[in-house]
Amino acid sequence: MTRCVLGQNQYGKAENRVVKITRDGDTHHIKDLNVSVALSGDMEEVHRSGSNANVLPTDTTKNTVYAFAKRFGIDSAEDFGIRLARHFVDDTAPIHRARIRIEEYAWDRIDTPDGTPATGHSFVRRGQEIRRAQITYDGHSVQVLSGLKDLTVLNSTGSEFWGFLRDEYTTLEEDRDRILATTVSTWWRHTWDGTGAPAPDWDRSYRRVRTHALRAFAETYSYSLQQTLFAMGVRVLESCDGIDEIRFSMPNQHHFRSDLSPFGLTNDAADGAVYHAADRPYGLIEATVLRDGADQLIPADLTNL
């Protein structure tokens, strides 16, 4: 009879949508999160015999998310995730490891034409960009990954693509002045491990990483999307202490100049070209940038999760 052993496993409640409203008089503040909990530990018997003696119900993990949002508030996705992860491991003996993954949806106040808020309680969802965090705690140390996804950026010039390999199937023309567009998904790993030094200012850290990544995108004259990606990572690591690793996934959202010759029209970039924006297929560029000597710990398959 073949002997089988249980490998890596986890369970929990995924995508708990929690919205926390904080009232400061007539001015309200909103935190809108999507929280997923995954727990691991002494789970051999539940898989072998169905005994639930060591199983904290996933419904309980859901209730904990909402109760903690009420009891402790939500200062940041990272703080909230750390509090949840420590609770599940430290207060539930069979649970040895908790991973909390959070997406945060940002809201702006609805303004009047003169730029002042229309009310203290009226909001509009901000674009498509999603802030996210993943917190993993094993009872000893904390690993915090912060990130964002669906941040769409475009340079209308300052990009070329030429000198590439050719074979019998290559038809792409070289381009000395092209649109460079992508939708950035990224995770970055903090040095802080929950011991010793105080936790970083998570909101400030997020703003700094986002700002430096965007400035590098804007200021890099690009001969390839790979070059731009690397410049973004280098800029972040050089400018943001306490971050050892950043991983990007960046689809090349191709813009092809339309062939207008049947209509007797030229379509040169210098004259203000017209482009066809192709949504698929697309080139997908992914890479990790590390501080020299740092270990690569962000999984390659995590980027778009």
Q: pLDDT (tens digit, 9 = 90+) per residue, 186-195?
A: 999 999 999 9
Catalytic residue, candidates 254, 255, 288, 303: 254
Please give the average per-residue pLDDT across 208-230, as a whole number: 95
Q: Domains in the chain and their CATH numbers?
A: 10-140 (3.10.270.10), 148-305 (3.10.270.10)
Q: Token pair 């904990």 is at which residue?
A: 64
Catalytic residue, candidates 28, 29, 58, 191: 58
116 in catalytic set: no
CB-CB neighbours of 116 under 10 Å: 8
Q: Across all residues in the chain, what is the average pLDDT?
A: 92
Q: 49-79: string of b/e by CB count within 10 Å (b at 16+)?
A: eeeeeebbeeeebbebbeebbeeeebebbbb
At residue 268, the pLDDT reads 84
Q: Is 70 exceeded by the pLDDT of residue 39? A: yes
3-state class (DSSP) for residue 158 = coil
Q: pLDDT (tens digit, 9 = 90+) per residue, 123-134?
A: 877 788 999 999
96 in catalytic set: no
Please give the average per-residue pLDDT across 281-297, as a whole number: 95
At residue 270, the pLDDT reads 75
Q: pLDDT (tens digit, 9 = 90+) per residue, 89-131?
A: 999 999 999 999 999 999 888 877 787 877 777 787 778 899 9
Q: Is 70 exceeded by the pLDDT of residue 87? A: yes
Q: Identify the DSSP state of 55.
A: P
